[in-house]
Structure 1
């Protein structure tokens, strides 16, 4: 299983030439929670912000030390407006969004997201935090996405999940904790 936090900062390497095409700045998701690609770097041109992005379909290997892409032509320039959901820099950021049950109970805030390492993969789970002190005392929690992802609702200010998800929370200790 891959984690957004582990991928951010990794170099992106052109498989044909061995040249580094950038470093992962953020992960970009579509409206169906599927990974679209990696944002590499941001640039400003007058009043618009552009990102270089490597599409997920171009990834040939995603390891612990680097991400390989088919070639440098896989890197596209996108306007910030074209990028909706990201892990931590976009218009709708998954990081730090509260996860709330449909009964109004907050389960925590998104600290990390998990997905399988194959193309077009949707998010499979969230790592939730209740804050630094709580993380030290109790540890973080992991929430698996329900079998029917249609039950999740991603808003600009919260992620809504069915109340039964509260019973599926798994406590775990992160490597840093």
Structure 2
């Protein structure tokens, strides 16, 4: 099990050619499954690339490794209408997480997922800086799909 925060900012390396392609900047997912990662491409032109989870060779401590740069595609929001953690109109970090029973659970901070399967298994939530210092951040385990609105995210914790 892994969180996105440990991948954020990692270099992306291609085995074929041994080239650094860019840096990991976001996790893209649908419902309960991670689809892939968003890469900020190195170079003058600021463009983003999408790497599907199944095309990732390894997620190491210092780098994300792919076999070939040909496994990446230019990211287009219309072509890849996924939820994200940090970027775009469908981002979830910082939004209020509510249970289906009407309980405010906190603000979404991170996502826990199985790196090989891509299944999302939980969410890290915060009640704010002071509460995090006193009590720590909480991990809410759930495999249920999220209902993502503009201001609030609803989750069923009974799944």
Aligned: 1:100 with 2:98: yes
| Length-normalised TM-score, structure 1 | 0.79
- Following TM superposition, by how much is the alpha carbon of 1:103 offset from its aligned partner in structure 2, in angstroms? 2.6
CA distance in 1, matches of 2:92, 2:27: 10
Unaligned residue ranges in structure 1 (runs of 5+): 166-177
Give the aligned length.
Answer: 156
Matched position secondary structure for 2:139: strand
| Higher helix proportion (structure 1 or 2) | 1
Q: TM-score, normalised by structure 2?
A: 0.87
The question of whether the paired residues in 1 share the 8 Å contact of 2:38 and 2:49 is answered with yes
Alpha-carbon distance, 1:142 to partner: 0.6
Q: Which residue of 1 aligns with 2:156?
A: 162
* Residue 8 of structure 1, CA deviation: 0.8
- CA-atom RMSD in angstroms: 2.3
Cα deviation digits, residues 4-46 of structure 1 (max 9, x gap)? 111110011101221111110111112x331111111279x9x
CA contact (8 A) 2:142 2:156 kept: no
Structure 1 contact 51–80 (Cα < 8 Å) conserved: no
CA deviation vs aligned residue, 1:138-175 (integer Å, no higher than 9, x gap) = 111110014xx25x42333222123658xxxxxxxxxx
Paired residues of 1:50 and 1:80 also in contact (CA < 8 A): no
Q: Is the 8 A contact 2:12 2:63 kept in 1?
A: yes
* Structure 1 residue aligned with 2:32: 33
Secondary structure in 1 matching 2:75: strand
